[in-house]
Amino acid sequence: VQLVESGGGLVQAGGSLRLSCAASGIFFSGYTMGWYRQAPGKERELVAIITGGRVTNYADSVKGQFTISRDNAKNTVDLQMNSLKPEDTAVYYCNAELRSNTYWGQGTQVTVSS
């Protein structure tokens, strides 16, 4: 199983980034896919999840700012991040979950400068 994130980088406050995660080795459409983040000195936290049926859930801190989407034909899940703030700076991780099976990507750094 592999989850490979891409799209991180350095952006100024107010800017946008789009993260993408490519999954392989899993029955993708059956998995709930998610994005989590971990800032320095803080615990990893949920950002957004999307079920196979495209039901979504967001952390309160990113509602209206981030959008999660998935393409079951391409085995990808994206996170569109708009109006970025310095507090969005973190390593962002892709997650795949189905019952007791959980997989993580290696993470991609997002840095928002003020």
| pLDDT tens track for 50-91 | 999 999 999 999 999 999 999 999 999 999 999 999 999 999
Q: What's the number of CA atoms in the CB half-sphere (13 Å) around residue 108?
A: 20
The whole-number average pLDDT for the span 12-25 is 98
| pLDDT band per the 50, 70, 90 thresholds, residue 22 | very high
Beta bridge partners of 17: 81
Task: Say how far apart CA 44 and CA 50 lie, in whole Å.
Answer: 18
pLDDT at 102: 97
